[in-house]
Each structure stands twice: as structure tokens, then as C-alpha cells.
Amino acid sequence: MATLTLPAPAKLNLFLHITGRRADGYHQLQTVFQFLEIADQLSFTLRGDDRLEFQCSDSALANDANLVVKAARLLQAQQRQRQGVRIILDKILPYGGGLGGGSSDAATTLLALNHLWQLQLTVDELATIGLQLGADVPVFVRGFAAFAEGVGEQLSPVSPPMPWYLVVDPKVHISTAELFAHRELKRDCAPINLGDWQQQQTSNVFEPLVRRLYPEVANALDWLVEYAPTRLTGTGACLYGAFESQELARAALARMPAPWTGFVARGLNESPVCQLLRQASTDNLTSQN
Ligand SMILES: C[C@](O)(CO)[C@H](O)COP(=O)(O)OP(=O)(O)OC[C@H]1O[C@@H](n2ccc(N)nc2=O)[C@H](O)[C@@H]1O
Ligand SMILES: Nc1ncnc2c1ncn2[C@@H]1O[C@H](COP(=O)(O)OP(=O)(O)OP(=O)(O)O)[C@@H](O)[C@H]1O
């Protein structure tokens, strides 16, 4: 049986503004997404029948609520003749921390199954299907660092510098839905132009709120800013500092207090998934078991 193995990289939000709120409660955002060179790993093996089998290295995520299973079901609905697959998710990325790991897993699943099941859906179609699963899924489907508007699905390519990041996980759980619903959240940022986001004063609008509600995150931000320019990603709780070199980032990581955990990874303006899928088309990644 053919097996396809692909990564699902993390993302950072290099800034995050809210410019308004839609009638359905979702927020209009402006943000820049950049990928990280650290990823979950997924393997996809065609089955002889039409069953969907899912295994995950983290037992808390090994269930049908996993975005991987939901993504696979959405694509199964697109098949003319039902095919099955076994999917194994090796969970590396911290989840619920603003790194978009679940969304990225879903996007990799959509791309992989479109390829393996030969559905011939376009990237636009896959991004539209992905948006049903989460606002962060389309950027992982398209695979380029992007200035995002709308709820995060209107994407224009950008090429920010690609520093080494130290990402800190302060081990605090933050609910994305609760933060978006908070009455003190700043929702009236003046829109900025795609062309000059790097020249503008930007921020993550969730940061003041998260600082106040979660003092541990405030402590981590205050610690990291001694080493590098520092920001929250998504709604947190993870935060990152941008360093000129891997060595400097690693030196800061070595001094990080417990119980926080962290890792060092380079920023990427192209997701490795698209490149690997192009290779897979020429059968480099497809091994016969
Ligand atoms: C914070 C970000 O990670 C920034 O990239 C995203 O905006 C969140 O993306 P996500 O985790 O894929 O979010 P979703 O699963 O679509 O939504 C989670 C919850 O966040 C709120 N939400 C999300 C995105 C958005 N533009 N407006 C919202 O109000 C909604 O209450 C929603 O129920
Ligand atoms: N494959 C998956 N990996 C991680 N979490 C998943 C997955 N599928 C479903 N989930 C659920 O989704 C929640 C959010 O996971 P995810 O890692 O995408 O959040 P996040 O890093 O906060 O991303 P975002 O920046 O989109 O808010 C988790 O708490 C988990 O319950």
C-alpha cells in the first residue's frame, strides 16, 4: 500500500489586529502569518476498503473530534467511489497555544488526501473546505507566508525576514473563543495597508488582555523581552522572541525558568508541505510497503 508522510508546520502571528466584528460574532482581522520550521508529522496509507482509521501519539487527541478526522471526512464526501485511509499523527507541537497545530494538521490532511485519492480539487477548493474547520486552516493549505484579512482567509503573499525564534510555552490554557468574546478586547484598530505593515506600529491586540488575565504569560513576556523583541502568537498562551542567530536563541532558551518549556525554530515563508507534495507527485515520497 502507498504511504505518504508529510509535516504540518506551526505558524506565528507576527502581529494581530481586529478591525471589526461580523453579525455572526466572528471578527475581522488583519494579521501576518509566518510558518515555523517545526512540525507535527502525519502519515497516510491507502486502505483496501473504505474505512477511515486514525491513530495519534497523544491519546488525548486520538478521537473523532480531531481536526484530522474531520478534514478526512469532508474529503471522503467529495469522492465518487469511497476509498479509505489509515492516518497516523505524531503530535510534536504544543496545542491550544496559538501555534495553529490543529489547523495545520487539518490542512496537511486535505492536501495529502486530495493527492492520494486523486480528487483533483484545486487549492482554492481545498482552502474553502478548510475554512469550515477553522479560520487558520486556509493559510496552511495555501502554504505561503501571508498578510491576512477577513476572518483570516483572505491571503496575500508577503516575505518578512526569517529570523530564529525562541517560542515559549508558559503552560497556561487560554480559550480562543472566550478571549474573542471578551468585552475589553480592542476591536477598532485602524486598517493598515498590505504594502506598509512593516513600517507601521503593530501589536497583538490580545496581549494586554492576556497579560491581565494570565499573570504567568505576563511574566514570560517580561522575561523574554530582556533578550529579544517579543510578542504573543494568536490568542496565546505561546509567545516568541526574534533572534539574529540560532545560537543566541538557544542561549536564551538555556536560561529559561521552569516550568515553562520552549523551542528554537527558524521562520519560513513557504510551508514545506507544498514542496514535498510536488516531490510526491514524482513518487519520491511514495513508498511501496
Ligand atoms: C487567533 C487566530 O489563531 C489568529 O491566527 C485565529 O483567528 C483563530 O483561528 P482558529 O483557532 O482556527 O479559530 P476557529 O476555530 O475558527 O474559531 C475559534 C473561535 O474564535 C472566535 N473567532 C475566531 C476567528 C475570528 N476571525 N473571529 C472569531 O471571533 C470564534 O468565537 C470561534 O468560535
Ligand atoms: N490535530 C489536532 N491537534 C491539536 N489540537 C487539536 C487537533 N484536533 C483538534 N484539536 C483541538 O483544537 C484545540 C486547538 O488546537 P490548536 O493547536 O489548533 O490551537 P492553537 O494552537 O491555539 O491554534 P490557533 O492559533 O488556531 O488558536 C485543541 O485544544 C484541541 O482540543
The residue extents of the domains of the chain are 2-158+270-288, 164-267
Q: Is 99 annotated as a binding residue?
A: yes
pLDDT at 288: 44
| CATH T-level fold of 2-158+270-288 | Ribosomal Protein S5; domain 2 (3.30.230)
pLDDT at 281: 78
pLDDT band at 283 (very low <50, low <70, confident <90, very high): low
Q: Are strands 146-149 and 27-47 parallel, antiparallel or unpaired?
A: antiparallel
Backbone region of residue 171 per phi and psi (left: phi > 0; alpha: psi in -120 to 50; beta: other values):
left
Tell me the one-letter amino acid at 18.
Answer: I
The residue contributing the CA closest to ligand 2 atom 18 is 102
Whether residue 254 has a cis bond before it, omega within 30° of 0: no
Active site residue 136: yes
pLDDT band at 121 (very low <50, low <70, confident <90, very high): very high
CA distance linking residue 267 with residue 11, whole number of Å: 9
Grid cell 469522492 — which residue?
Answer: 79
pLDDT at 289: 43
For the 164-267 domain, the top CATH level (class) is alpha beta
Contact residues for 224 (Cβ-Cβ < 8 A; gap 6+)? 166, 168, 230, 239, 240, 241, 252
Mean pLDDT, range 54-69, rounded to an integer: 98
Active site residue 58: no
Ligand nearest to the Cα of 67, by number: 2
List the helix and strand counts (H, then E) for the chain. Answer: 9, 11
State whether the beta carbon of 11 lies less than 6 angstroms from ligand 1: no
pLDDT at 1: 63
pLDDT(284) > 50: no
